[in-house]
Structure 1
Amino acid sequence: MNNQSTKDKDARSSNAMAATSHPLATEEALKILKIGGNAVDASIAASIVLSVVEPNATSIGGDCFAIVKMDNKDPVSFNGSGLAPEKLNYDFFKDKHIDKIGLTSPHSVTIPGALNAWEKIHKEFGKLDFERLFLGAIDIAKNGHRVTKVVSNAWKNSLNKINGNENSKKIFLKNGRTYQENELMKNIALGETLEVISKKGSKEFYEGEIAKDIIETLNELGGVHTFEDFSKQSTIRSDTIKSNYKGDFIHQCPPNGPGVTVLIMMKLLEKLNIQNYKFNSTERFHLEAEVTKQAYKVKETILGDPNFVNFNLEKILSDENIEEIFNKINLNSCSDVGDLNIPAHPETIYLTVVDKDLNSVSIINSVCYVFGSGITTNKSGILLHNRGTNFRVENGHPNCIAGLKRPLHTIIPGMLIDKNNKATLSYGVMGGQYQPVGQVHVLNNMIDFGMGPQEALSFPRAFHFNNIYKLEKTVDKEILHGLKEIGHNVGYFDGTHGGGQAIKINRSEGDLLGGSDPRKDGYAKGY
């Protein structure tokens, strides 16, 4: 694409760069880089800041996935998703005549995995002391921060959820109402909790007084969490999964993350020659919807926690299987995958950092739905996620609830690596179930349609989800009409799909190009 507008210009740096969804997080990452921290240090510090300033989207009471690429080593996947309490299983809910885990139920709170993941990643790759990574967030939590626009809107829409919990009301409401844009907000209890963790490490969260506070809070509400559950939480370090796309390799975290969905969709779009259609055409948006349907059918009917479910990723990504799916897609009609009844949209933050040595971190943290479970702990100021709502209460389903099982997740960091094992793009897209589609949309924008990171992220989006195709209002009307003619149940909606950040490592010119989604409050910045 040419004639790039000012708002779509990439951030540029010849040294290092951070791209996050909040100004305070971007600045904290840069601060860490400038005092000698690497991309791992900076990304963790930024994640901790975001757990203070974007409570609608993330928390130390939530989960995390990351891909870490130290420049001369293979990329590594870190799965910081949480286990279900051991006492929870299908029979537990069946006996209580519950067929779906409620959004604000204590049973929706799986063991938060983010802190364990941050500490494990840091122990292997970090340079600065772990304690140093918390200082910025501690200061912001205790002394306050100004609420930004997108966060304030999410806050406004969560009044009823926050009102449902006494601890949440005390911290997240001001005189009975939600915090508005530019108002000063503090969470002193969380600041003190972060201070303890910075000095004692994540063990305090999983085995100490903080664990006790979380467990007591949940047990008072009917939860069945125990100290044993918390002590069994661990981060999975593994190889990434990958597939080739036009000479580069797309890397994702393995299941229980849904990153394989991205690989399926990109393989299908490569066979469909997506580059032959205009970037802003009915055909492009139609084919994106069609590969979404097929890939999500695989995700929802086959994938789950690999410790509980048998599936073969090699077979799923095989040429034979991709060819079989490809034959179900037609340029002039809509395929039918039935009613997948996929759990809806959670809330997330994504960020990426590339340091002066071109070490790259792609990391994503989440409380699942906006303000998670709405449950805040009695003493420690921790808002707890509700990732357990992603489980199914369906006997025999690969994602059926079971004790110490991890739910089929939604959050996925991404990375593009060339044939010489060098990272060329660290990227991710937020937005719950939209994330795989968002990643594909951005990758196609950059690889197939020649957009820079910022333009690729800003470009209009659409999401085919549970048999409805929802378009952002910036999508051309001609595309809407064209999709209707093909047969899609399509329309505009009031809102946007996700957010996102990306940093392109432009090795031939020796600089970094960054973008940050205008649907969020942050920016990309280098030094």
Structure 2
Amino acid sequence: MTVLAPARPFPASDRVPALGADGMVSASHPAISRIGAEVLASGGNAVDAALAMAALAWIALPGQNGLGGDTFALVREPDGQVWAFCGSGFGPDGATPDRFPGPVLPRHGALSVAVPGAVGALAALHASGATRPLTELWAPAARAAAAGLPCTARTRGDIERHRERLAADPGTAAALLPGGGVPAVGARLAHPELARSIAAVAADPAGFYTGGLADRAVAALVADGARFSGDEWAASGRVVPEPALRRRYRDSWVHQTPLPTPGWMVLDQLAVCDGMLRDGGEAAAPLSAEAVHWLAGAATIAFADRFRTAGPDRTGPDRGGDPAAVAQARDRIRAGDLPAPAGARPDGDTTSMVAVDAEGRAVGLIGSLAFTFGAGVTVPGTGIVLNNRLGRGAYLIPGHPNELRPRRRPLHTLNSWLVTDDDGRLRHVGNTPGGDGQVQWNTQLVSHLLDHGAGPQDAVDAPRFSVFPGSDAGDLGAPAELRCEDRLGPEVLAGLAARGHRVVPVGARGAGGSAQVVSVDHDNGCLVAGADSRQEGVALGV
């Protein structure tokens, strides 16, 4: 890997990057990283490691993801092919806008639920490239659920903020509020019902969508007013590998997850910024006011395109393939003539992880319940918390491509990326949670790595910023803000205000996200990784 000289020294992270020769993993919780490293060390490949990590994440970070959520994965094969696995379920067959008198869908409860897509994506990923049975790979997660993992500060905070909603559902109350109180940091959160569900789904993933578990989920949701037929569950379980999106940036290819993810938005932002942020460009100094202005402007334009034209089945304009459209977007950024906001919420709860093996196989995987603890309801007797992706993502705007309709997936926030060179060799793989912040922070990560030669730990710990709002249903029409971490410095924040941005400081590390990046150092024959200091994750090499 060629290390590029930055225009100015890139702000160094306080943490030392992890190194590995035969494999590397990175995740937002030490136990997740450990199980992935153990699978690699015992001879498993990156797909095996990612599958084991994904399941353990349901126990380690219960507010951020689960069996009842969605999952997307991007996989680079040793021969250079890149595939995407998109696990996002349909809304109810009986969902029509006339049933909802308000301007937005309910954010919680049965009416906010879409069919979970995680199991379908993970089963397809397993079939495509795993070397070990799913029952073996998910057994550590089942054991951890039965015995309980120590509660982290992050999970305790999630539970405390949502205590009232968790207490209202018997399933979430039993698992997350033992004795009726918020657990202390270090207290073990045992979840025997979820342990049995993980083992059952590992043995028969299809049963999640067509068997007794699916019947139980549909019956419970229908009893609470949701209009599921059950057929949309069976349809949501059919996931097949898809070609990844890709766009050339600088001297590399950036690959992204396709629809219904917003991966196209990352490629759109990169097309607008290509050449502007590198040596000799208009905003070459990393994290300068001009560089942040360009990245924020590209994000604002992408969100406006998404709200105006995009839905779960169609992207915004292919600006990267239209030089005139790129030039027009750049002129708008230079003039400070940015679109009015529509609505995005750069938060929500998601967790991401990456794994790379000695053969060069790489997996970037991301899973989510949408908002923290999703809909706040469980499938009775299973411990499975259901997502609120429908309530978060679908619109009630007549005629909009994202309008609530039967058998339609809502807009999604999850996406994952990786970078290869012209010979197809892996250079970087990464992702981050953070709602609609994801497409912004992933663009920033790619720029840090490719424009400025930042190492993976420096890239994930760099000061972060995000435009608000963009396209999230509940925030349509909110005033425009540029939310910036204070570490950008007073001079940069003042420069952004002078360029017309309404700057909102969010603390030293308060922008959100928990980015993971693994990079390949081809010159020295090793792997280098970084785990975001904003959460409790680690990167481990083998």
Decide: shared fold, TM above 0.5: yes
**2:521 counterpart residue number:** 506
Question: What is the TM-score when the length of structure 1 is the normalising length?
Answer: 0.94
Give the whole-Å Cα distance in 2 for the aligned partners of 1:172 and 1:220.
24
Give the whole-Å Cα distance in 2 for the aligned partners of 1:478 and 1:315.
32
Q: 1:114 aligned to 2:118?
A: yes
**1:369 counterpart residue number:** 371
**1:166 counterpart residue number:** 170
**1:231 counterpart residue number:** 234
SS state at 1:152 partner: helix
The alpha-carbon deviation at position 161 of structure 1 amounts to 2.4
Contact 1:458 1:518 in 2 (8 A): yes
Matches within 5 A, 1:200-219: 201-219=204-222
**1:256 counterpart residue number:** 260
The alpha-carbon deviation at position 313 of structure 1 amounts to 5.8
Supply the AA of the counterpart residue of 2:83.
V
Deviations 1:328-360, CA, capped at 9 Å, x for gaps: 111xx5323123123563211110000111100
Give the whole-Å Cα distance in 2 for the aligned partners of 1:316 and 1:222.
44
**2:57 counterpart residue number:** 50
In the alignment, which of 520, 531, 534 is matched to residue 519 of structure 1? 534
Give the whole-Å Cα distance in 2 for the aligned partners of 1:98 and 1:460.
38
**2:344 counterpart residue number:** 342
Contact 1:446 1:452 in 2 (8 A): yes
**1:184 counterpart residue number:** 188
Contact 1:274 1:284 in 2 (8 A): no
Aligned in 2, Cα 1:422/1:313: closer, same or farther, shift over 3 Å?
A: farther
Q: Which runs of 5+ in 2 are unaligned?
A: 1-5, 470-479
Supply the AA of the counterpart residue of 2:431.
G
The alpha-carbon deviation at position 374 of structure 1 amounts to 0.7
Give the whole-Å Cα distance in 1 for the aligned partners of 2:159 and 2:247.
39
The alpha-carbon deviation at position 319 of structure 1 amounts to 2.1
Deviations 1:266-323, CA, capped at 9 Å, x for gaps: 11111434544321321111222111111111122222122xx5x6764664223222
Supply the AA of the counterpart residue of 2:117.
G
**2:291 counterpart residue number:** 284
Q: How many residues align?
A: 518
**2:22 counterpart residue number:** 15
Give the whole-Å Cα distance in 1 for the aligned partners of 2:82 and 2:250.
19
SS state at 1:362 partner: strand
SS state at 2:378 partner: coil
Supply the AA of the counterpart residue of 2:96.
N
Contact 2:309 2:401 in 1 (8 A): yes
Contact 1:36 1:128 in 2 (8 A): no
Q: 1:497 aligned to 2:522?
A: no
**2:466 counterpart residue number:** 463
The alpha-carbon deviation at position 43 of structure 1 amounts to 0.2
Q: Which runs of 5+ in 1 are unaligned?
A: none
The percentage of aligned residue pairs carrying the same residue is 23
Matches within 5 A, 1:74-473: 74-93=81-100, 97-199=101-203, 201-233=204-236, 234-275=238-279, 276=281, 277-306=284-313, 309=314, 314=318, 317-330=321-334, 334-342=336-344, 345-388=347-390, 389-466=392-469, 467-473=480-486
Give the whole-Å Cα distance in 1 for the aligned partners of 2:520 and 2:149.
32
**1:38 counterpart residue number:** 45
The alpha-carbon deviation at position 402 of structure 1 amounts to 1.1
> Which 4+ residue blocks in structure 1 deviate beyond 4 angstroms?
1-6, 311-316
SS state at 1:215 partner: helix
Q: 1:488 aligned to 2:501?
A: yes
Question: What is the TM-score when the length of structure 2 is the normalising length?
Answer: 0.92
Give the whole-Å Cα distance in 1 for the aligned partners of 2:213 and 2:14.
44
Contact 1:428 1:502 in 2 (8 A): yes
Give the whole-Å Cα distance in 2 for the aligned partners of 1:451 and 1:185.
38
Give the whole-Å Cα distance in 2 for the aligned partners of 1:16 and 1:454.
17
Contact 2:83 2:241 in 1 (8 A): yes
The alpha-carbon deviation at position 448 of structure 1 amounts to 1.4
Give the whole-Å Cα distance in 2 for the aligned partners of 1:103 and 1:369.
9
Contact 1:83 1:111 in 2 (8 A): yes
- Bigger drift between 344-353 and 382-391 goes to 344-353
SS state at 1:514 partner: strand
Give the whole-Å Cα distance in 1 for the aligned partners of 2:288 and 2:316.
35
